[in-house]
Amino acid sequence: MVLQEFLASLRNAGVRVSMSETLDAAAAAKTVGYQDRQILKDSLSTSLAKSLREKRIFNDCFDRFFSAESMKSWDDFSPADRVPVPDVSPLAAMILTGDRTGLSVSMSVAARRVDVSAISFFTQKSMYIQRILQEMGQEGLKQDIYRMSEPEGSWSKQSLEALQAGRERLFEEVRDFVEKQYALHASSVPEQIMESYLKRVSLSNVEQRDVERMRRIIQKMVQRLNDRYSRRRKTARKGTLDLKTTLRKNISYHGLIFEPCWKGKKIDRPELMVLCDVSRSVQAYSRFMLLFLYSLHEELARIRSFIFCTNLVEVSDVFKEYGVQEALAKLESGASLDLTLGRTDYGQSLQDFREKALNRVTRRTTVILLGDARNNYGDPRTDLLKRIHELSKRVLWLNPEPPAYWGTGDSEMKRYSPYCFHVQQCSTVTHLERVVDFLLRTQG
């Protein structure tokens, strides 16, 4: 029973616990027993938390859950006369006798009955406190106190005082308990909401402090990509029958073909060149594109990155050398990079690209442009993009603006798009996910 509640709070905190793991945990707890806290913790950890991240959550949860040593304050609470007083409600009797265990049990029973684990907002706290007190028999207690305070009663003044003090303590205990339950069951709710929110929210709106979290999502995504790679490679390994090798290899079997050999297919790994606009109009957005680029750099070997504003510079080394925060700071300030952060000039940037890297664009290269195509009414140099389009495997353009804005004002998107294999709005992680999917399909 205790274990089940613990598992519920663990699940709530984002650890996936399957049925079979539940059984394992129960068996483990049974095997080692409940005497040694550390051993119990280790045993449950080993059967429930299956990665470093989960271990951390587990430790946190375990400490919070099993630290609930309730009714501690009753240790020093000694009512004047500990003699059970007849004719009072059970709750009052427990308070008068200082029955710590009884109170503790009564509270957890009450808590279960009102289903305190469903608590998810802090505004619900006082409601749960009241409900638990109700379940424990608050009404009876109140009546007892009322009866005692009548002058003609046969009650000692001491027991009345004890009862009143006890009632206050009880309230505090229950409040602490609910507080703990709230921390246990509700702290993860915001996390879940946050994660799904971040997946949908526009990249440019996300605050600085969420960068770390965003990076995790992107890494998760890239990780999935990698898994897909290895699977693809496996099918390629089958390939077609390689007659020559097969015959040679099977000579030792009297020419009987025991061991067929296959001709491997070549894997088509994406070779990327990414051009990212970092001008002021897309600043908030480019930060996340750079973040995305950084994650790609960590995962893919053949990738070159450029950033541009008035001119264009290569930044692949920055990604390779520095940590993420440092790299982003460096790129955004443009310091020591020879980057001019003036008017955005797509024409000049494309020309720079032609000089710097066009000769390395091959038919295996995918060129990605990230930017809003707002060229300040300068010459867009579509001829250069056309050249890139002809040389490369394909050109993708990711634009943070929604399609309705393309071609309005100084946006040159409409003039660029004929030379792009694919143009897409991309301002949320979901968009990004789609793009990456697209990128990995070899027969694009």
Partner 1 sequence: MEKTMLDKFDSISRIQKGLEGTGYICSQQIATTLYLAFHLDKPILVEGPAGVGKTELAKASAVFLGLPLIRLQCYEGLDESKALYEWKYGKQLLYTQILKDRLNDILQGSGTLAESVSKLRQHDDIFFSPDFLEPRPLLKALLQEQGAVLLVDEVDKSDPEFEAFLLEVLSDYQVSVPEVGTIAATSKPFVFLTSNNTREMSEPLKRRCLHLYIPFPEPNMEREILRARVPDLSQTLRSHLVAFIHQVRKLDLKKVPSVSETIDWARVLVLLHASDLKPDLVSETLNVFLKFEEDLEIVRERVFEFTQNAVKAP
| Site for partner 1, rule CB under 8 A | 16, 18, 20-21, 24, 27-28, 31-32, 38-39, 42-43, 45-47, 49-52, 55, 223, 226-227, 230-231, 234, 237, 252-254, 256, 258-259, 323
| Tokens standing for residue 224 | 């999935």
- Minimum distance, C-beta of residue 30 to partner 1, in the bound complex (Å): 9
The dihedral of CA 116, 122, 128, 133: what is its sign?
positive
User: Within 10 A of 401 (CB to CB), how many other CB atoms are there?
Assistant: 20
Give the Cα-Cα-Cα angle 99, 136, 156 (nearest 5 degrees).
Answer: 55
Q: Which residue lies nearer to partner 1 by CB, 325 or 408?
A: 325
Q: Pick between residue 1 and residue 256 the one whose CB is nearest to partner 1.
A: 256
Instruction: Tally Cβ neighbours within 10 Å of residue 225.
Output: 17
Cα–Cα nearest to 66, from 130, 9, 131: 9
Q: Kind of pairing, strands 312-314 and 303-308?
A: antiparallel
Asked if 295 and 282 touch (Cβ cutoff 8 Å), the reply is no
- Rounded to the nearest whole angstrom, what is the least distance from the CB of residue 43 to partner 1 in the complex? 6
Q: Write down the least CB distance from residue 183 to partner 1, Å.
A: 25
Q: 228 vs 302, which CB is nearer to partner 1?
A: 228
Smallest gap, in angstroms, from Cβ of residue 334 to partner 1?
24
CB of 382 to partner 1, least distance (A): 43
Strands 422-425 and 394-399: parallel
| Cα dihedral 50/51/57/58 (nearest 10) | 30
In the complex, minimum distance from the CB of residue 21 to partner 1, in angstroms, rounded to a whole number: 6
CB of 321 to partner 1, least distance (A): 9
Q: How far apart are CA 368 and CA 370, in angstroms?
A: 7
Integer Cα distance of 320 and 326 in angstroms: 11
Which secondary structure element, helix H or strand E, spans residue 132, and what is its range?
helix 125-136
As measured in angstroms, the least distance from the Cβ of 57 to partner 1 is 13
DSSP states of 17-69:
--HHHHHHHHHHHHHH-SS-HHHHHHHHHHHH--SHHHHHHHHHHHHHHHT--
Q: Are strands 303-308 and 271-277 parallel, antiparallel or unpaired?
A: parallel
The CB-of-50 to partner 1 minimum distance in angstroms stands at 4
In the complex with partner 1, the residue whose CB is nearer, 60 or 176, is 60
The distance of closest approach from Cβ of residue 253 to partner 1 in the complex, given in angstroms and rounded to an integer, is 6
Of 299, 274, 292, which is closest to residue 214 (Cα–Cα)? Answer: 292
Q: Which is nearer to partner 1, 379 or 433 (CB)?
A: 433
Looking at the Cβ atoms of 323 and 409, the one nearer to partner 1 is 323
Question: Least distance (Å) from partner 1 to the CB of residue 426?
Answer: 26
Q: Shortest approach of partner 1 to residue 211 CB, angstroms? A: 18
Nearer to partner 1, 69 or 227 (CB): 227
**Which C-beta is closer to partner 1: that of 45 or that of 143?**
45
**Does residue 93 sit in helix, strand or coil?**
helix
What's the chain's Rg over C-alpha atoms? 34
- Reported residue count of the chain is 444
Q: Kindly tell me which of 200 and 254 has the beta carbon lying closer to partner 1.
A: 254
Nearer to partner 1, 43 or 305 (CB): 43
Q: Interhelix angle for 37-48 vs 19-32, to 10°? A: 160
Q: Could you tell me where the DSSP H helices lie in 266-418?
A: 283-299, 316-321, 324-333, 346-357, 382-391, 413-416
Sign of the CA dihedral with 389 first, then 395, 401, and 405 last:
positive
- For partner 1, give the closer residue by CB, 37 or 414: 37
C-beta closer to partner 1: residue 21 or 176: 21
